[in-house]
Chains A and B, each alone.
Chain A
Amino acid sequence: MQTIFFENTPRIIATGTIAGPKECAGVVGKCVDKTLTDDMFGESTYEKAECKMLSYAITKAIENAGEEQSNIDMLISGDLLNQIISASFAARDFDFPFLGVYGACSTLAESYAIAAALLNAGYYKKIVAATGSHFSSAERQYRYPLELGNTRPPQSQWTVTGAGGAVIASEGSPTAITSATFGKVVDFGITDVNNMGAAMAPAAADTILAHLKETGRNADYYDLIITGDLGALGSRILKDLVWEKGVDIQNNHVDCGEIIYKVIEDEFQGGSGAGCSAVVFNSYIYEKLKRRELNRVLLAATGALLSTVSSGQGESIPCICHAVAIENL
């Protein structure tokens, strides 16, 4: 069994989000707590800006929950930078234990699942789970300098500048995490680092199928099946892959990366990065859950577990997808 069930139903009591100007031009613009006008966020480097965004999301989530920081038992966080520096450095600002996790762009779902498990077991009462990413720091680590005059291939995606987090507690809101499915590492042999959607789609399909099978649910049990950052191309492949196994998610699947950007300029397939699902889920989707426009969603965030070293050595891209079922009870 990959799926665990939380009979004590830990609740998502509040969220905090922040995103860059490009992201806020789209659907999340009206729902985020803060829109950045300057993607440096008043800092001297992009890495510091990313860290500050994450710190802001954590603080804001706690504030929105009406909680004091002293009541928080733990922070679970991770990000895309080497040695997850944004998360660890952001954790410096807080006086509670920190659990650093890395699941690339699946970090949000992974932290929610771990938080829910710890709360369900009764070890803790309130946990903050957060993650974020920054276009410019990710570009530098994974690709080229920002000012280099090269072209982006049409399969590529655009790393989201933003961060989002949630306070998950044992009680205090109708929105509950009811189960989680931990994913297997899936690698179908894609080596093109500009085609993350195609690399990650098989992992998403694997976890979603496992979740539906183990919970005995049909795909239409969920109002929405949300993937993190497959992009337009990856989403299409995902639908094909699950269709092959007799599951139809044509009508209720939505990809955060596909919907986040309004203007398609150089983003091509859409948004990516840990911040993508963090911003879209914690603002836009959570807002809809609160208003009960959505009642059952499956958040299946995917992550590409590559590094610049592995891709330089010609390795294919292993991917993972963790899913959490979030329901209004």
Chain B
Amino acid sequence: MTGKNRENYNKNYIAYVNSFDPPTQHFKNCLRAFLVGGLICCIGQFMREIFEKVIGLNGDELSAAVSILLIFLGTLLTGFGVYDRIGRYAGAGSIVPITGFANSVASPAIEFKTEGLVYGMAAKMFIVAGPIIVYGVLAGTAVGLIYLFL
């Protein structure tokens, strides 16, 4: 069976298989993502307060310092093998914040270290984060252009 015939034949089977799909637990997933994501944001805010009041940073310096520390923590937890467990529990709650981005860069770096520091770790470091950077820059440029002409 080829082409269109096969497609028709398969449709029934795929519909049948889909009927077994366990329902996604939206409420539970959202709650976990909200709690963990919220906690990460609270930690960030806490750092912000500390940096501002204790060290006396402000403006861009303050934002940069908080981001750097969060990225460091995300990478550290990835290295300790903890972040993937958090991710499994929290889903988007720990993928979306900047710590998730750090995890997506650090995890392939660890994984491919066995193939060498150049062709392994460095070359494959962005296999997960690459698309985020590409489309992030693209979206940023598009928004920037719109902003320029408005």
Q: Does B bind A?
A: yes
Residues on A lying within 8 angstroms of B by beta carbon are 44-45, 47, 140, 144-152, 154-155, 188-190, 195, 198, 202, 233, 236-237, 266, 316
Choice from B10, B20, B91, B106 contacting A236 with Cβ under 8 Å: B20
A265 to nearest B CB, angstroms? 9
Evaluate contact between A152 and B88: CB separation under 8 angstroms: yes
Choice from B13, B14, B87, B111 contacting A149 with Cβ under 8 Å: B87
B36 to nearest A CB, angstroms? 10
* Interface presence of B86 (CB below 8 A): yes
Residues on B lying within 8 angstroms of A by beta carbon are 6-7, 9-11, 13-14, 16-17, 20-22, 78-79, 81, 83-88, 90-91, 94-95, 100, 103-104, 106-108, 110-112, 114, 128
B129 to nearest A CB, angstroms? 10
Chain B residues within 8 Å of A154, by CB:
22
Evaluate contact between B91 and A151: CB separation under 8 angstroms: yes
CA distance A198 to B14 in the complex (A): 9
CA distance A198 to B106 in the complex (A): 34
Beyond A149-B83, A189-B10, 6 additional pairs, beta carbon < 8 A: A146-B111, A147-B103, A149-B84, A149-B94, A149-B100, A155-B22
CA distance A266 to B85 in the complex (A): 11
Q: List 7 A-B contacts (CB under 8 A).
A: A45-B114, A146-B110, A147-B79, A148-B108, A188-B10, A189-B13, A202-B13
CA distance A316 to B52 in the complex (A): 55
- By beta carbon, the residue of chain B nearest A144 is B128
Chain B residues within 8 Å of A316, by CB:
10
Evaluate contact between B13 and A148: CB separation under 8 angstroms: no
A44-B114, A233-B20 given; A147·B106 CB < 8 A: yes
B74 to nearest A CB, angstroms? 9
A155-B21, A190-B17, A237-B20 given; A149·B81 CB < 8 A: no
A140-B111, A144-B128, A145-B111 given; A150·B87 CB < 8 A: yes
Chain B residues within 8 Å of A237, by CB:
16-17, 20
- By beta carbon, the residue of chain B nearest A139 is B111
Evaluate contact between B6 and A189: CB separation under 8 angstroms: yes
Q: Max chain A CB contacts within 10 Å: which of B21, B78, B94?
A: B21
Chain A residues within 8 Å of B10, by CB:
188-189, 316
